[in-house]
Amino acid sequence: MTIKKRIYPEGESPNLDLVVDQLKSQDSKNKRLMYRMFILYIIFAVFYLGLLIFNPDPELTFENRIQGVCYVLIFTVAAFFFRHHYRKTSKVDYTAPILSMLEEARERHKLMRPGKAWFVVFIVGFTDIVVTWALVTDITAEWSLLTKILVIQAGYFTIMSLSFLIGYLIWRKKSRPLVRNLTRIIDEMRADETPMNEISS
């Protein structure tokens, strides 16, 4: 069943059953995506490791091999990041207390949270260092070292910015409506709890 990813107008409460169905559907899609990303990064890591071990090219310097090890590390960290979140999503309990389940779901589908932030900082920062280190010696133009680094940074962060923009647009289309619906339901449930808490106190 296809769930319409709608934002309910002001004054209209989201239908809890439909939002939970939407949540389950999005979780299922995310699990498939995370599993595929895990497999993809494992393949990259094994491929680069194989190149480091079996590549007989005499022009492959010790510095090149260190750079290769760094790439293997990046791919391995990425693979286990996706594996961790795949397993975490697979263990979601939709029968848990409803408010707790909805709050965890909202955190899970936010664009950025601490678990994602460290991963993004590590991948972008470490990859930037390794790519700059690898390319700065390959640029044959008669530029100063600083100019080469600045050119590499401009190209790298242009690519990263476009990647983040594409990721944001995908999230805005697929997950933001869900996050907003969850937020409205959570706020309504908390508002309903408040008078009861005041009476009991």
Q: Report how far residue 168's alpha carbon sits from residue 113's, in angstroms, rounded to the nearest whole number.
A: 14
**Residue 86 · residue 109 · CB < 8 Å:** no
Q: Which long-range contacts (CB under 8 A, 24 or more apart) does 45-51 make?
A: 45/72, 45/75, 45/76, 45/79, 48/72, 48/75
Averaged pLDDT of the chain: 86
pLDDT at 12: 63
**Residue 178 · residue 26 · CB < 8 Å:** yes
Each domain of the chain, given as residue ranges in start order, spans 16-192
Q: Is the pLDDT of residue 2 over 80?
A: no
Q: Is the pLDDT of residue 116 over 50?
A: yes
Higher pLDDT, residue 51 or 43: 43
pLDDT at 73: 95
pLDDT in tens, 28-41: 999 999 999 999 99
pLDDT in tens, 85-115: 999 999 999 999 999 999 999 999 998 887 7
The dihedrals phi and psi of 169, each to the nearest 5 degrees, come to -65, -40
| Dihedral angle over CA of 73, 79, 81, 82, nearest 10 | 160
